[in-house]
Amino acid sequence: MNTKNRNLVIGGLAIAIVIAILAPFLASSNPDGLESAAESLGVPESEAVFESPLPDYAIPGMEDNPWGGVIALIFGTILVVLVMLGLAYIISKKGNGQE
Amino acid sequence: MHIPDGFIPLWQCAIYWFIAIVAIGFALRWARENLDEKNIPLLAVLAAGIFAIQAMNVPIPWGTSGHMVGAALIAIIFFSPWAAVLVLSIVLILQGLIFGDGGMTALGANIVNMGLIGGFVGFYAYKVLKGVGRIPAIFLAGWASIFLAAIACAIEMAWAGTFPLAEGIVFMGLYHAVIGVIEGVISVVVILGIDNVRPDLLADWVSSSKKEALQ
């Protein structure tokens, strides 16, 4: 990865992490469009079919602490970047150096 | 707009899963043919940015909130709706598996709505509207992508027997017409921001370094 691209990744990731830090403090906890429509139409809440490790972007046991959300979101942000980079390099011919 | 488990009967979930898997196949083929050392870093940081910004719910009227989806943005920057399918699939899979955002049974439907429909609407809306100007075209493509994805979601909810059709379309359409403004504005800001620092990474049809985008 050349310097220009490294700067792009660092800069872009920095912006994403700032959003991840702010979101637990600033994001509205109101129901989203779909949940709100479901409430208005009297659809009961449903159970997830399996227990995810960090449900609702919170660390179990510290659901009320926004910093738990910050950690969960930063973890997710870095995970997304790594999965995307890894997958892209594996599947792209050019990323593998094959033309 | 992440559909939870229990809103769609399993046999219908299987249909959306099937469509999503076929779409991911096309997205992977696009990736194999179009990704290289130059554009992979941008794709990866945009995926991360979309994941983060999807946690930033903005309050809208009626005690509701919403967040951007990002499919139109990706489709425009990379000149392909399949790029949007790829990015949104990764984001939605990780959100469902790790953060319980969107049900795993409904993952196929979520990929169809936000990745496939969002990506295609964003791509073709920009294509059709580019003549009116780059910035209004990006804004409207962003707006239309989430609005029509929400309408599709409402129709799926009606088919599932979860929402009545007309009321579902009214509520989902109304909320996402407002959320679409957020989608449109952020899409414009992100593309102009990239255009400012790395216009070479934007597809020709949206990059200020190319006459094609500014005609």
Residue A97: inside a domain, yes or no? yes
Q: How many domains would you assign to chain A? A: 1
Q: Distance between CA atoms of A8 and B44, rounded to whole angstroms? A: 10
Q: How far is A65 from chain B (nearest CA, A)?
A: 16
- Is the pLDDT confidence value at B29 over 90? yes
Is the CB of residue B10 less than 8 Å away from at least one CB of chain A?
no
Nearest CA in chain A to B38: A5
E-assigned strand segments in chain A: none
CB nearest to A77's CB, from B51, B164, B197? B51
Residue B127: inside a domain, yes or no? yes
pLDDT at A93: 66
Other CB atoms within a 10 A radius of the CB of residue B104 amount to: 18
Q: Distance between CA atoms of B24 and B118, rounded to whole angstroms? A: 14
Task: Band the pLDDT of B211: cuts 50, 70, 90.
Answer: low
Q: Which B residues, 84 through 123, put their C-beta within 8 Å of a C-beta on chain A?
A: 87, 90-91, 94-101, 103-105
CB-hemisphere CA count at 13 Å for B27? Answer: 29
What are the tens digits of pLDDT across the range A2-17?
Answer: 888 888 889 999 999 9
Instruction: Kindly report which listed range (A95-99, B49-53, B92-96, B106-110) carries the lowest average pLDDT score.
Output: A95-99
pLDDT at A1: 67
Q: How many domains would you assign to chain B? A: 1
Full domain range(s) for residue B165: 10-214
What are the tens digits of pLDDT across the range A8-51?
Answer: 889 999 999 999 999 999 999 898 889 999 988 888 888 888 88
Residue A59: inside a domain, yes or no? no
Residue A79: inside a domain, yes or no? yes
Residue A49: inside a domain, yes or no? no
Q: With a cut of 0.85, is the ipTM above it? A: yes
Residue B121: inside a domain, yes or no? yes
Is the CB of residue B61 less than 8 Å away from at least one CB of chain A?
no
3-state helix, strand, coil in chain B (%, to 5): 75, 5, 25
pLDDT at A73: 94
pLDDT at B43: 95
Residue B3: inside a domain, yes or no? no
CATH assignment of the domain containing B192? 1.10.1760.20
Task: Band the pLDDT of A95: cuts 50, 70, 90.
Answer: very low
Residue A58: inside a domain, yes or no? no
Residue B57: inside a domain, yes or no? yes
Selected for mutation to probe chain B from A17, A80, A82 (highest B CB count within 10 Å) is: A80
> How distant, in Å, are the alpha carbons of A17, B114, B131, B136 from that of B93?
20, 12, 36, 31
pLDDT at B86: 97
Residue B159: inside a domain, yes or no? yes
In contact, B72 and B186? CB cutoff 8 Å: no
Torsional class of B102: left (φ above 0), alpha (ψ -120 to 50), beta (otherwise): left
- Is the pLDDT confidence value at A97 over 90? no
Residue A60: inside a domain, yes or no? no
Residue B165: inside a domain, yes or no? yes
Which amino acid is located at B77 in the chain? I
Residue B5: inside a domain, yes or no? no
Is the CB of residue B192 less than 8 Å away from at least one CB of chain A?
no
Residue B86: inside a domain, yes or no? yes
What are the tens digits of pLDDT across the range B47-93?
Answer: 999 999 999 999 998 889 989 999 999 999 999 999 999 999 999 99
Q: In this structure, are strands B64-66 and B58-60 parallel, antiparallel, or unpaired?
A: antiparallel
Average pLDDT value over all residues in chain B: 94
Full domain range(s) for residue A19: 1-43+65-99
Instruction: Kindly report which listed range (A52-61, B45-54, B150-159) carries the lowest average pLDDT score.
Output: A52-61
Mean pLDDT for the stretch of residues B43-49: 96
CB nearest to A91's CB, from B5, B32, B103? B32
